[in-house]
Chain A
């Protein structure tokens, strides 16, 4: 993979040039009441925001909302047109981390199935956005207490699946070109780029190792015997009830998860007929598995939380060959019941061992 160096100011210039032709999102941060909020994505306007923040850990939101909108129209009817009405403006998303980039693998398998999985149904709305979106990922330079990427087979930087990757180092960034698409973002911008030097790469390696070590260090207390891709989390319902005690089924974990792909189709009257929208849906909601006849295979909240975690570690592994927990820690960050899935897993596996 081609690598170049770009200085801090030159990166701002580069992003500014991109923003003239495309939609560009970058993570920004605000000081609110002397507390620095977790960075989140903002659309770049005429100027690159002063408060752009490419350091630290992952932005508050996973990048899935750029490719799979929380709500979007997928059909207008009556219609005899078999083609999907899709359009997606070229978009550059700067800021996804290693965990986020890995998360997109699940989306590619589910929604771009013919290319990435063995199924025949391709989702035109996702694919159009995916094709027109550039992923400019960033190495983590710090770990949150809730990060655990290295415990689920990841690293605090992406190894592949990005178009460009930025590794922050003291004088600027090491830029790695991950795809032909990514290469086009550098075309015509040679004036901003420099050759990468061995000391740049050494510094990047030092940073990467130190963040990975930090992640490992603060996750030592959650260590379990089983490997993450061999979990059997069925456990007893009692063990799961204990885990679920503080859950209020708010579904914040589903919504912030980089690999929660589920949706609900909703039909409503609209101008000229009706429209069908696709809305994010959440397996923690009581109605998620309910059938027309009133049956519910996961009526108990403990069954639903268990389903969510087993989906990440077991069901996706068995169906897609992919453990889909990427260790981003967002479900822990946003949980108002302070449920920590690392504790949950440890609890269930420990209880299992006792049986």
Chain B
């Protein structure tokens, strides 16, 4: 019988620093590890432990995968000490990702905060692969300071894509920054309030648009409130839930939220699914 707990050996092929504490790694697994946008994998640093990550690369690329990782704990600190050519372990993919077909013909709002843009990058690249199927792609991203912005080299390219816009903000004023300042929800200020929605001319049709949100829990909480207030339907707001997914198999119990196992029923959950929880984030 297949062993669910075995890490698949994967070689670090590239290491690219993004910010002072965020790095993108490219891994080449020795056996296939594929995923759909929004699904996650378990990354093993040998002898140290495992942690869950959503890949940040294009899910349509099958032989390698990239993960953008912020240093926060034991596993990420140990990973930071590794070099190109070293071997880690991967298991997965696990959980439910985004169902791209649900987005066809719609405006897609991508809301990212900090390293939260990483999983969304995988979604963005998948959206770009069939860009004609979507009415509009709006990427809105907030970081603490200019130097905390991830994918700085990629953002200008994304902006050139058809029907795509990229809006950025940083939390506090900064001498090198001339753009928008304020927490990420300020990027929603341009969206009309539900009460004033008057179709065609507006940048977004909240009634039909979908939003994919990923960032720290506090950001999810406020973006969720704002989007609902703007008239987004709860079933069209997709959050990347942050829980301690240890086994990824719906067994170990660490990621339980009510009757949900975030590792099985998530990590992407709609605002409708989590509406019954007092504070789901």
Contact = CB atoms under 8 A, between A and B. Distances in A.
B105 to A, nearest CB: 31
A231 to B, nearest CB: 14
Contacts, number: 139
Contacts of A80: 9, 30-31
B253 A281 contact: yes
21 contacts: A77-B7, A82-B2, A82-B6, A84-B3, A84-B6, A121-B250, A123-B4, A124-B2, A263-B251, A263-B253, A264-B246, A265-B5, A265-B49, A265-B50, A281-B254, A289-B244, A290-B244, A293-B216, A293-B242, A295-B216, A295-B242
Given A297-B257, A315-B258, A315-B259, A265 B247 contact: yes
A283 interface: yes
A79 interface: yes
Given A83-B2, A289-B244, A292-B75, A78 B9 contact: yes
B2 A264 contact: no
B161 to A, nearest CB: 30
A318 interface: yes
A81 to B, nearest CB: 8
B252 A77 contact: no
A34 interface: no
B47 A121 contact: no
A267 B49 contact: yes
Which 10 A-B pairs rank lowest in CB-CB distance, beginning with the nearest?
A262-B253, A84-B3, A318-B259, A124-B1, A319-B259, A74-B5, A121-B249, A292-B73, A75-B5, A315-B259
Nearest to B255: A289
Interface string A263-282: 11111110001101010010
B240 interface: no
B49 A288 contact: no
Interface string A314-329: 1111110000000000
Contacts of B31: 80
Contact of B6 (A77, A122, A289, A310): A77
B35 to A, nearest CB: 16
B76 interface: yes
Interface string A13-56: 00000000000000000000000000000000000000000000
Contacts of B4: 84, 121-124
B14 to A, nearest CB: 21
Given A289-B243, A315-B259, A267 B47 contact: yes
A291 B7 contact: no
Nearest to A275: B47
Interface in B39-72: 44, 46-51, 70, 72
B87 interface: yes
Interface footprint category on A: 35 or more
Contacts of A276: 5, 7
B217 interface: yes
A84 B253 contact: no
B259 A266 contact: no
Chain B residues touching A, majority SS: loop
Interface of B: 1-7, 9, 30-31, 44, 46-51, 70, 72-73, 75-76, 87, 89, 216-217, 242-244, 246-247, 249-261, 264
B30 to A, nearest CB: 7
A223 interface: no
B5 A278 contact: yes
Contacts of B1: 83-84, 86, 122, 124, 127-128
A83 B3 contact: yes
A202 B197 CA distance: 76
A295 B261 CA distance: 17
> Could you say which of A124, A273, A293 has the most chain B C-beta atoms within 10 Å of its C-beta?
A293
A318 B82 CA distance: 43
Contacts of B249: 121, 123
A297 B217 CA distance: 10
B42 to A, nearest CB: 9
A111 interface: yes
A311 B7 CA distance: 30
B3 A265 contact: no
B233 to A, nearest CB: 24
A283 B49 CA distance: 20
A267 B46 contact: yes
B96 to A, nearest CB: 12
B51 A292 contact: yes
